[in-house]
Structure 1
């Protein structure tokens, strides 16, 4: 077996979910990722954990959703029961066709998210990690040769995550102590938000692989200004480009997109919380050096920020603070590599993608 696969399985089992004897672990993957599933299974067996494998099939999911009437969409009781009895989850993405869900009506997708919102919340309180297994389809989306893409993926996810944590901790501390965040990129993005009292989190491989971001939650009603997400969003099997959002009093009051604006509208109309920001994230993984139309990687890329409409992440919101609540959580990205800066309480802490604690800041 490819030693890079074995190394990643070890990271997932020992570092990400910290599997122990007696743990009930669910591994969900498509057939394309069988080698990684096998490597994980071996590691779990060595540690005395129990394994349940779950087949993930985008073709089956599409067929089911297209055949089902929207009024028949209800909570998946089996998924709920499994989630309640599982200690840890490993989710593996391995696309055969990234656009398999492209003809599923957005309304059905949002209805499914609403129906299974409580299950999702239970899962978020467990040990879980989402990772990527490289496929030819993903390489094609990234416009890269297959072997080059494989190297890109393994370089991004098989890292020294403790070292990454230490690097990111410098910005985590700065963001955690800040009240006002001001983000400017060219003449298309100028947005402010208040993060006072929220917790900044250091993403270093416990939930997402690759990791490599620092993120927080804005106070829901504080977001003001305009943002152009100039990197494409691929979600629900469709590509949405040049998303423009205008915020007043924390709420999206204007929106547009050059492509698939109807999908953007459906997401914003999911519920009241979908029109507010639940997350601000700053990408800091220098092992991700190019945009590949895969949000799991793209949002961690250095020289970017991302913002998510919808649900706030629990670890960002201390007891007593208001958390934005929604059935959706959709990240979108702004390129910060040129003519851009981030201010914390009026001090520029990043310029053109370089932080004040990195070489070249202000050059």
Structure 2
């Protein structure tokens, strides 16, 4: 049996040389922009080794240095399910100290098994709080440049009803873009959004089931949008901000698969009043959705609104980091807003004052059958997933450009 055949039997992802080189080059030179003399911390899953090793080679060849941590997802799950609570409250001080010495932080996820674990309410809330505290220690925008990516896996391909080879092609197309053109088009979009006061998302308003319609209105006056390509997440792209805290009103329906702490949630309907979720319905995963919303007071608020712009992401995918970047999509994040005041050197206003240990994205497509619009101060800026302004042509999904 050849090495590749053995990897297929064991379901260890194999990535072609061209893919490895492209992704590693983007991460080192365009996402993190590593310079000579800097330190880079690499945190990764075992099946991501091929790409991480190439990244490390490129970093070291620049005269920079690496520190690293190989993760074990199954042990992490076991720890949170079985350990005494007093231990779980502690942050890993030695690991955080190593990370904080570095100029850049790269997380590469490629879990070998996708098994959810069910925690009781105390452990679930503690997990959220500890994760948030650790993220805040790691992600200091003024000190550390960081980027994260989630590589294709056999399990993710199966969830999305694709072969692994098909899923890799979808992923690679989403990576193989002219990010400068995307960034420049998003600057035009953001200039429009930053000058607006009210943002409305409409989708499938004629659906006979009122709980399958999206009609969501929010105030964005005083907030500003950030231009995200591949500096923070790979692949990109999106423009994101937050609505004013108490302003979100209406209904939001997103069909598809979502995960909360490894538990599957399907087909989410949310009703918002005065900025908070007051009612919800799901086709499966009710207990997980209830657990999420009950995490803390702020978990029912909207902490982020994002508009996905990756023109090559046109297939349905359930990986949250990919789904939220799809062209003709938008997402709301329940829970905390981003508290940063600058994004890639530009002043931004993303913090609407909400507080939560949760930040959980729910993405919706705007080019499905049934029709859709994004309206800014009453004027449509996107219709059925296509931007009205021709200068945003590069952001239109390739299958409808």
| 1:92 maps onto 2:120 in alignment | no
Quick one: structure 1 residues 321 and 153, their matched pair in 2 at CA, closer, same or farther if it must change by over 3 Å? closer
Alpha-carbon distance in structure 1 between the residues aligned to 2:273 and 2:86 = 33
Q: Secondary structure at the match of 1:62?
A: helix
Q: How far did 1:320 drift?
A: 11
Map 1:48-67 onto structure 2 (within 5 A).
48-67=63-82
| 1:233 maps onto 2:258 in alignment | yes
Match of 2:384 among 348, 352, 356: 352
* Count of aligned residue pairs for this structure pair: 362
Quick one: structure 1 residues 320 and 105, their matched pair in 2 at CA, closer, same or farther if it must change by over 3 Å? closer
Aligned to 1:118: 133
Alpha-carbon distance in structure 2 between the residues aligned to 1:249 and 1:190 = 14
Alpha-carbon distance in structure 1 between the residues aligned to 2:158 and 2:169 = 14
Alpha-carbon distance in structure 1 between the residues aligned to 2:300 and 2:359 = 11
Quick one: structure 1 residues 44 and 172, their matched pair in 2 at CA, closer, same or farther if it must change by over 3 Å? same
Q: Which moved more, 1:173-182 or 1:117-126?
A: 117-126
Quick one: structure 1 residues 323 and 241, their matched pair in 2 at CA, closer, same or farther if it must change by over 3 Å? same
**Contiguous gaps of at least 5 residues in structure 2:** 1-15, 206-212, 343-347
| 1:133 maps onto 2:133 in alignment | no
Q: Normalising by the residue count of structure 2, what TM-score does the alignment of the two structures yield?
A: 0.84
Map 1:200-215 onto structure 2 (within 5 A).
200-215=225-240
| 1:284 maps onto 2:346 in alignment | no
Q: How far did 1:234 drift?
A: 2.4
Q: Secondary structure at the match of 1:297?
A: helix
Alpha-carbon distance in structure 2 between the residues aligned to 1:316 and 1:304 = 25
Q: How far did 1:158 drift?
A: 3.4
**Contiguous gaps of at least 5 residues in structure 1:** none
Map 1:139-288 onto structure 2 (within 5 A).
139-187=157-205, 188-288=213-313
Aligned to 2:321: 296
Q: Which moved more, 1:315-324 or 1:87-96?
A: 315-324
Q: How far did 1:143 drift?
A: 1.6
Aligned to 2:12: none
Aligned to 2:333: 308
Q: Secondary structure at the match of 1:144?
A: coil
Contact 2:306/2:330 (<8 A) preserved: yes
Q: How far did 1:297 drift?
A: 0.7
Q: How far did 1:327 drift?
A: 1.1
| 1:324 maps onto 2:354 in alignment | yes
| 1:6 maps onto 2:21 in alignment | yes
Contact 1:309/1:328 (<8 A) preserved: yes
Quick one: structure 1 residues 152 and 327, their matched pair in 2 at CA, closer, same or farther if it must change by over 3 Å? same
Q: Normalising by the residue count of structure 1, what TM-score does the alignment of the two structures yield?
A: 0.92
Contact 1:83/1:119 (<8 A) preserved: no
Q: How far did 1:316 drift?
A: 7.0
